[in-house]
Structure 1
């Protein structure tokens, strides 16, 4: 645990008692704060009470009087589409609003660091797509190289639940826009921006607010190194703002769409090969085509970002390449779950928007595509260039028929349920096909989250294969 510093003896309110909120409450208590906790959910309050916290209804008038801060869980709106009433009350009485990420950065460094020859480092990863895989891949490379590494944030453990890093330790954080937007302290040593596509627009008041939330990690974080994906205008803008000139190698540009040249530092992937360039010449390359855990151009972009982060910490290219080969990938993110009769079954349930689903469609050839769910703002236009890879679509979700209208003239079938979609896709798949779950939509019309949707895909596939096995025996 990272005890929160600066609140010893002070009253601090925590709103939202999910993973990050309860973790923040524990860390605040460990740092000597008097912690007031609240969640509208009775079960969440009961869990807090089991750990010795006494819930205080923060929605009551005057509940925040005398509080030194309000710590907000990431799922609670603080500005758009409307501020939570407790947040508005905090503004009214001048109580600073922060989150667990802000507490982490203000509390991480201690007096012990003065005795370290190599102080701990923090790598923070943000972006629309690929940040989970990139964060996990960085952590995997560091661990394989014998570095003390911990993975936390929007993946793995809560940031305040990790162990205080020791000599040369590295903390790898995946940070969402919800987390970067509100944190009052952001001081990573290395910051990574993967890419940007429309997402969470209602929460940020539009695309400008969404990008601004990501940009805070760089503009206010002041990292020593900035690794920036430049395949969209926003990334090119950010890289231009962070660099003092073309040769400024504090900014490392990455791309999975084009060759990057110039006197600076860049890492890019073309035709399946990763290349590192510095000062106008190539210094290393890796054949990504033969790495099973990193299929497709979107994963090649993730590989470029992770490679650049590892190189910033002095890890040799060949060490990175060896670790890449051992990377198994993450559940629900281009995860190969089975290969039967020459047909691959891939779970990319995390593809919850059009941009991430487009990357999945671009990664494979002849696809039996399971898609559909709760459509997000921004539409599905980004999918259109990749629909030629789809042999047939199998549409799930309560609004499957409406979703199918976006599929133009590609063959499709309204299945509604995952069970029906898996059965039909598997029955019609031929050797060389890929049965791909990449919904291009949120899961909340049928599932609690994208993980449950992906688990259902795997469970239905397992049931189907088991039934085939019994029929064949």
Structure 2
């Protein structure tokens, strides 16, 4: 655990007692603070009380009178579409509001670092899509290179639940816009921006607010090195803002759409080959086409970002190339769950928005596409441009019929539930086809998470193949 320092003897409010909330309470207590906890869920409060934490209804008008700081779980709105009532009370009372990410950066360094030969580093990854795969891949590459590394944040363990990093250790953090938007301290050594597309617009009051939340990691974080995906205008803008000129190698530009040139530091993928260029010269090349855990151009972008991040720490290209081939990928992200009779079955349940689903559709030929769910803002039109390989769509979700109507030019069957969609796709698939779950929608109309949706797909595929 990372004990939270600087609040010895002070009452610190903890709002939200899920994974990160309980870890925060434990870390505060370890650092000498007095956590005062609250969650609307009685079961969550009971779990906290079972660990000896005091619970108090922080929504009462006088509940924050003795609270020095309020620490908020990432799922709780702090500004848009409107602040949570407890957070609104904190604003009125002048109580500072923070989250576990801010506390982590505030408390990470310890006196033991003075005796380290190499101080620990933090690599923080944000962006719209590919954050989890990029973060996990960075972690994998570091371990393969013999480096001490931990994975935390929006993936793996809560940031305050990890062990204090040792001499030369690296902490890899996946950070969502919810986390970067509120954290009062953001000081990564290396910051990574994968890409940008519309998402969480209600939480950030539009596209500009969403980008501003991502940008904080760089503009306020002041990383020593920034790895920036420049395939969208937002990434190009961010790289330009951080760079002092074309040769400034503190900014590493990354692309999976085009060759990059210039006197600076670039890593890009074209036609399945990753290339690293520095000072106008190519210094490394890796063939990604046979890397099973990283299929498709979107994963090649993730590979470029991860490659650049660990190159900053001195990992050699040959070590990286070898480690790419041992990366198994992540569950629910272009995950090959079965292969039978020449048909591949791929679980990309994490493709919860249009952009990530479109990238999945471009990664495979001859697709039988299971899609649908709780549709997000912005419509489905961008999917249609990427759906040239789709043989047929099998649409799930409570609004499956309305979703199917929007798939203009694609043969679509309204299946409503996963059981029907999988059964029909398996029955109709032929050798060379890929049955792909890439919903392009949230899961909450039928499942409590994208993980549960992916697990249901996987279980039904395996059951259908066993019966066949």
TM-score (norm 1): 0.98
Report the CA distance between 1:61 and its aligned residue.
1.1
Q: In structure 2, what is the Cα distance between the partners aligned to 1:46 and 1:231?
A: 47
1:128 and 2:128 are equivalent in the alignment: yes
Name the CA distance, whole Å, in 2 between partners of 1:177 and 1:381: 25
Following TM superposition, where does structure 1 have runs of at least 4 consecutive aligned residues deviating by more than 2 angstroms?
A: none
Residue 66 of structure 1: how far off its partner (Å): 2.1
How far apart, in 1, do the equivalents of 2:257 and 2:91 lie?
44
Distance 1:247 1:384 in 2: 39
What's the counterpart of residue 471 of structure 1?
A: none
**Alpha-carbon distance in structure 2 between the residues aligned to 1:147 and 1:333:** 25
Structure 2 Cα separation of the partners of residues 352 and 19 of structure 1 = 22
1:446 partnered with 2:455:
no
Instruction: State the distance in 2 between where 1:297 and 1:409 align.
Output: 24
In 2: Cα distance, 1:417 partner to 1:328 partner: 29
Structure-2 separation of matches of 1:377 and 1:410: 21
2:245 maps to what in 1?
245
Paired with 1:269 and 1:55, the residues of 2 have a C-alpha distance of: 52
For residues 422-463 of structure 1, give each alpha carbon's deviation from its aligned partner in whole angstroms, at most 9, with x where no partner exists.
010111111000000000000000000000000000111121
Number of the residue aligned with 2:323: 323
- Any conservation in 1 of the 2:338–2:462 contact (CA below 8 Å)? no
Task: Please give the per-residue CA displacement for 1:30-67, whole angstroms capped at 9, x wherever unaligned.
Answer: 00011100000011111111111121110111101121
Distance in 2 between residues matched to 1:318 and 1:47, nearest whole Å: 48
2:115 counterpart residue number: 115
Aligned length: 468
Task: State the distance in 2 between where 1:197 and 1:169 align.
Answer: 32
* Aligned mates of 1:409, 1:283 — CA distance in 2: 45
Displacement of 1:467 in angstroms is: 1.3
Cα drift, residue 381 of structure 1: 2.1
How far has the Cα of 1:81 moved from its partner? 0.3
Alignment check: 8 A CA contact 2:395 2:412 kept:
yes
Distance 1:316 1:359 in 2: 29
- Using the alignment, how far apart are the partners of 1:44 and 1:467 within structure 2? 41
2:384 pairs with 1:384: yes
Q: Shift of the alpha carbon at 1:225?
A: 0.3
Matched, 1:142 2:142: yes
Measured against aligned partners, the alpha-carbon deviations of 1:264-320 in whole angstroms (never above 9, x if no partner) come to 000000000000000001000000001000000000000000000110000000000
- SS across alignment from 2:76: coil
**2:122 alignment partner, SS class:** strand
Provide TM-score, normalisation by structure 2.
1.00
Aligned to 2:27: 27
Aligned ranges for residues 181-260 of structure 1 at < 5 Å? 181-260=181-260
Residue 339 of structure 2 corresponds to which residue in structure 1?
339
Q: 1:140-164 CA deviation, whole Å, 9 max, x = no partner? A: 0000100000000000000000000
Aligned position for 1:463:
463
Q: Which residue of 1 aligns with 2:409?
A: 409
Q: How far apart, in 1, do the equivalents of 2:163 and 2:378 lie?
A: 40
